[in-house]
A and B are shown apart, each in its own frame.
Chain A
Amino acid sequence: MSEHNPNSYYVPASSRWPFIGAIGLFVTVYGAANFIQQSTDAVANDGQYGAWIMFAGIAILIWQMFSWWRDVIRESMGGLYSPQMDRSFRFGMMWFITSEVMFFAAFFGALFYARVLAIEWLGGGSNNAMTHDLLWPDFIPEWPLERTPDGTTTNAMPAWGIPLINTAILLTSSWTLTLAHHALKDGHRSKLNGWLAVTVLLGAIFLGFQGYEYYHAYVDMGLTMGSGIYGSTFFLLTGFHGMHVTIGTIFLAILLVRTLKGHFTAENHFAFEAGAWYWHFVDVVWLFLFVFVYLL
């Protein structure tokens, strides 16, 4: 249907969505900064508008992403994309995931630094005898840090309950997603839909368990973001991971809608693979979390 010459280059038409996306990001973060100031008490910022601005920004972003990808899907289904474009998308997704790995690396770095260096030094290790003796002589260096230098106490989250179940869930979901991928390549559409749906469901169950775990931590265990460095690293690492599971689940759910509509062919399904890569990445991050946040 396309007169596209495979030997000539393809440059996409101009689009309003990137610019609208920039506006959306700006409105979101402007609202978020106000919302955070208005809903916490560290800074005097009276008002209620922050949340509304933030939600307006998020709405713009959702509209922008939906419309942008709708255009891209139409162009792709219209046969406009060459194998070279496909490679560009693939490389782009790989490097995006690389950047995500480095984002998590920052928080893992904080965890390792605190565990290996900061806490030992607060206990008088290395050249810090005076820090310990003069500032916090009663401080006992340990991990999980259940009692901070200033005396805040908390309880560490055990690994062998919900975290273990969640590990099993995520590992299973990676497997079901691979089954869906194989079904797609073999042209078994109903199997594809089935396994993809199971994967989405497993993602949602994971999130449900994690929500329960957070509730349990806050209400029953006294483990909060304010529980010293243990709570800080625990909630930021698992929280950002949970956010990525949420994004991944939405990603897969949209792929499910598309497979149900008959999108993707055995040869041409970059979006599906991008979603699968993202999901596996989230899975691998979880394994590191399970080992370093919960287990060790």
Chain B
Amino acid sequence: MSAVIEEHHDHHDHKPTGLTRWLFTTNHKDIGTLYLWFSFAMFVIGGLFAMVIRLELFQPGLQFVEPEFFNQMTTLHGLVMVFGAVMPATVGLANWMIPIMIGAPDMALPRMNNWSFWILPFAFTLLLSSLFMEGGAPNFGWTFYAPLSTTFGPPSTDFFIFGVHLMGISSIMGSINVIVTVFNMRAPGMTLMKMPMFVWTWLITAFLLIMVMPVLAGAVTMMLTDRHFGTSFFDAAGGGDPVMFQHIFWFFGHPEVYIMILPAFGIASQIIPTFSRKPLFGYASMVYATAAIALLSFVVWAHHMFTVGMPLAGELFFMFATLLIAVPTGVKVFNWVATMWKGSITFETPMLYALAFVILFTIGGFSGVMLAMTPVDFQYHDTYFVVAHFHYVLFPGAIFGTMAAVYYWLPKWTGNLYNERWAKIQFWLQIFFVNLTFFPMHFSGLAGMPRRIPDYNLAFADFNMISSIGAFGLALTQIIFIAVVIGCIRGKRKATAQVWEGAQGLEWTLPSPAPYHSFTTPPKVD
């Protein structure tokens, strides 16, 4: 046994090098870094798919791609962005920051942590390889409704199904790790109600993941058996119901949207107090609001399905339950604004992103309230208005949140300051282009342009051209983003331990860059 112990101590004190450092790592910072780079790679790939979509929609008529391929692009864009870009990005942030923020040495289950990460590149290899298969990639939209995905799905659908299984396994293990870390690894004195909001929001996110990812696994499993083993889950002729697929999918799908946004809520709740130089307003109400949003997210799923012909009682229940979510969300927005009230605010890039997040996410929230109203939704359903709505909560919501976090913590990760000037240029360009891309979609949607089509009525031509120009610009601003990040990694200007004047919390007590092993003995928290 002593050999094992010596080997163990050996690894404990030195930073391993080379490729095996990354393949076999148990270090939360290494794994967080892997997640973040993976996420960015997927962001680029999913973004290229979006460029194909916007290129085809630049003008009415079919110019560049076949409708069949267009459908594959909308499907893969959604899947890659949701499961490959947004979710791994927030998991990467959780890995990097949660142990540091709660005074832990690492995640609670470091080896499983590594397993969760390394499943992802394989899962996306499986998913993206479907592009090169006979019959093409999945073409039924990221929601993969039956029977499009069962009776009419291309052969690659089976590879997609198993890809989703792998992503689910990865997410479940990742979220188990977060929950166990938060419950078991907090430094003495770090009570639950003293935890930073980012940790709270991630704890609740992890709970949501554990509850819904297995349901997604069940849904794709039923798809698989419907496709190949003669079952009739989603086939009315056998006594099943294709609408049942939508219920099961959205039971996963609705909490999933909170899985993507809650960590961004947490990030905004870290950044706004720092740059307002005031503690977060209404901390406890923030925690309860987040928990309320998470619990409500389990009983609102059918608001995605108002037009499928549900009984009236169902339509009413899901409408009112959905509208209820606006209350805790309003609490959060109010608290962010109240945090800034009479604060000594400065506008460094993370703060700019956090402010843009609050404002633009609220726009997405408002269009969400519109969509939640059943009779109105009959008009909006499956139009570009929906596309505008969820891109407002995802891009300026989840992705701006992630970018805010990257700028906020990059000095802590690398030990260097990033170039504030270029970061601000990137911010302003990005906020211009994000609105140029997605705001016109509200109008084309209200005018009746359906989503997921490669060609459209001439009446929508101007709005689509504006959206496309915005999208190309938005893609270009990502080049500046990555240049600023790489510039910071290679940077010369050293950051202090606290980095930001108003920053509070354990992560700022560690030197910048944070040492390979954060806390070898528990820090004291009062």
Contact B248 A109 (CB under 8 A): yes
**Proximity string of chain A (131-152) to chain B, C-beta cutoff 8 Å, 1 when within and 0 when not:** 1000100000000010011101
Kindly report which residue of chain B lies nearest to residue A102, judged by CB atoms: B214
Contact A88 B180 (CB under 8 A): yes
Contact B108 A127 (CB under 8 A): no
Kindly report which residue of chain B lies nearest to residue A14, judged by CB atoms: B24
Measured CB to CB, the residues of A under 8 A from B are: 1-3, 7-19, 21-23, 25-26, 29-30, 32-33, 36-37, 40, 42-45, 68, 74-75, 77-80, 84, 87-89, 91-92, 95-96, 98-103, 105-107, 109-110, 113-114, 117-119, 121-122, 126-128, 131, 135, 145, 148-150, 152, 224-226, 228-233, 235-236
18 A–B contacts from the bound complex (CB under 8 Å) = A11-B12, A12-B110, A13-B11, A17-B111, A18-B111, A18-B118, A22-B119, A80-B8, A103-B214, A106-B215, A110-B222, A114-B241, A118-B244, A127-B309, A150-B237, A228-B238, A228-B240, A229-B240
Contact A15 B24 (CB under 8 A): yes
Measured between beta carbons, the chain A residues less than 8 angstroms from B228 are 36-37, 40, 42-43
- Beyond the given A14-B20, A91-B179, A92-B177, please list 16 additional residue pairs across the A-B interface where CB-CB is below 8 A: A9-B106, A15-B24, A15-B114, A19-B23, A19-B24, A22-B119, A26-B122, A36-B228, A37-B155, A91-B108, A107-B218, A118-B240, A126-B311, A148-B237, A152-B238, A232-B238
Tell me whether A236 and B221 are in contact in the complex, defined as CB-CB below 8 angstroms, given that A7-B521, A88-B108 are known contacts: yes
User: Does B345 touch A at the CB level, under 8 Å?
Assistant: no
Tell me whether A14 and B520 are in contact in the complex, defined as CB-CB below 8 angstroms, given that A21-B115, A92-B180, A117-B241 are known contacts: no
User: Does B275 touch A at the CB level, under 8 Å?
Assistant: no
Kindly report which residue of chain A lies nearest to residue B176, judged by CB atoms: A95
Contact B26 A11 (CB under 8 A): yes
* A32 to B158 CA separation, bound complex (whole angstroms): 9
Measured between beta carbons, the chain A residues less than 8 angstroms from B344 are none
Minimum Cβ distance to chain A for residue B219 (Å): 6
* A29 to B119 CA separation, bound complex (whole angstroms): 12
Contact A92 B108 (CB under 8 A): yes
Contact B2 A1 (CB under 8 A): yes
Measured between beta carbons, the chain B residues less than 8 angstroms from A126 are 311
User: Does B162 touch A at the CB level, under 8 Å?
Assistant: yes
Minimum Cβ distance to chain A for residue B230 (Å): 3
Tell me whether A68 and B111 are in contact in the complex, defined as CB-CB below 8 angstroms, given that A91-B180, A92-B176 are known contacts: yes
Measured between beta carbons, the chain A residues less than 8 angstroms from B20 are 14, 16
Contact A25 B122 (CB under 8 A): yes
Contact B5 A44 (CB under 8 A): no
Tell me whether A95 and B24 are in contact in the complex, defined as CB-CB below 8 angstroms, given that A25-B122, A114-B240 are known contacts: no
Minimum Cβ distance to chain A for residue B336 (Å): 31
Kindly report which residue of chain A lies nearest to residue B159, judged by CB atoms: A33
Contact B176 A74 (CB under 8 A): no
Measured between beta carbons, the chain A residues less than 8 angstroms from B176 are 92, 95-96, 99
Minimum Cβ distance to chain B for residue A121 (Å): 7
Residue among A29, A78, A145 making CB contact with B239, cutoff 8 Å: A145
Kindly report which residue of chain B lies nearest to residue A1, judged by CB atoms: B1
* A122 to B236 CA separation, bound complex (whole angstroms): 8
* A136 to B500 CA separation, bound complex (whole angstroms): 69
Residue among B4, B104, B166, B210 making CB contact with A9, cutoff 8 Å: B104
Contact B211 A12 (CB under 8 A): no
Kindly report which residue of chain B lies nearest to residue A30, judged by CB atoms: B126
User: Does B419 touch A at the CB level, under 8 Å?
Assistant: no
**Proximity string of chain B (19-45) to chain A, C-beta cutoff 8 Å, 1 when within and 0 when not:** 011011111000000000000000000
User: Does B225 touch A at the CB level, under 8 Å?
Assistant: yes
Contact B172 A99 (CB under 8 A): yes
Minimum Cβ distance to chain B for residue A208 (Å): 23
Measured between beta carbons, the chain B residues less than 8 angstroms from A79 are 1
Kindly report which residue of chain B lies nearest to residue A7, judged by CB atoms: B521
Kindly report which residue of chain A lies nearest to residue B151, judged by CB atoms: A42
Give chain B interface residues in 26-70, CB to chain A under 8 Å.
Answer: 26-27
Contact B111 A114 (CB under 8 A): no
Q: Is the interface of A mostly helix, strand, loop or mixed?
A: helix
Measured between beta carbons, the chain B residues less than 8 angstroms from A235 are 231
Kindly report which residue of chain A lies nearest to residue B217, judged by CB atoms: A103
Tell me whether A13 and B7 are in contact in the complex, defined as CB-CB below 8 angstroms, given that A18-B114, A88-B108, A152-B238 are known contacts: yes
Contact A26 B125 (CB under 8 A): yes
User: Does B183 touch A at the CB level, under 8 Å?
Assistant: yes
Measured between beta carbons, the chain A residues less than 8 angstroms from B521 are 7-9
User: Does B227 touch A at the CB level, under 8 Å?
Assistant: yes
Residue among B5, B119, B155, B311 making CB contact with A127, cutoff 8 Å: B311
Measured between beta carbons, the chain A residues less than 8 angstroms from B226 are 232
Contact B210 A78 (CB under 8 A): no
Contact B183 A91 (CB under 8 A): yes
Residue among A19, A42, A145 making CB contact with B118, cutoff 8 Å: A19
Measured between beta carbons, the chain A residues less than 8 angstroms from B215 are 102-103, 105-106, 109
* A109 to B301 CA separation, bound complex (whole angstroms): 14
User: Does B513 touch A at the CB level, under 8 Å?
Assistant: no
User: Does B407 touch A at the CB level, under 8 Å?
Assistant: no
Contact B12 A13 (CB under 8 A): yes
Residue with the highest number of chain A CB atoms closer than 10 Å, among B210, B227, B236: B236
Contact A22 B122 (CB under 8 A): yes
Contact A32 B162 (CB under 8 A): yes
Tell me whether A29 and B180 are in contact in the complex, defined as CB-CB below 8 angstroms, given that A106-B218, A106-B248, A110-B248 are known contacts: no
Contact B239 A230 (CB under 8 A): yes
User: Does B112 touch A at the CB level, under 8 Å?
Assistant: yes
Minimum Cβ distance to chain B for residue A229 (Å): 4
Minimum Cβ distance to chain A for residue B250 (Å): 12
Contact A40 B229 (CB under 8 A): yes
Residue with the highest number of chain B CB atoms closer than 10 Å, among A16, A30, A102, A230: A102
Contact A84 B184 (CB under 8 A): yes
User: Does B517 touch A at the CB level, under 8 Å?
Assistant: yes
Residue among A22, A98, A114, A148 making CB contact with B210, cutoff 8 Å: A98
Contact A29 B166 (CB under 8 A): yes
User: Does B224 touch A at the CB level, under 8 Å?
Assistant: yes
Q: Which 10 pairs show the lowest CB-CB distances between chains A and B?
A: A106-B218, A226-B230, A9-B105, A229-B239, A18-B115, A232-B231, A26-B122, A29-B162, A22-B118, A103-B214
Kindly report which residue of chain A lies nearest to residue B209, judged by CB atoms: A99
Measured between beta carbons, the chain B residues less than 8 angstroms from A109 are 215, 218, 247-248, 251
Contact A14 B16 (CB under 8 A): yes
User: Does B325 touch A at the CB level, under 8 Å?
Assistant: no
Measured between beta carbons, the chain B residues less than 8 angstroms from A17 are 111
Measured between beta carbons, the chain A residues less than 8 angstroms from B27 are 11, 14
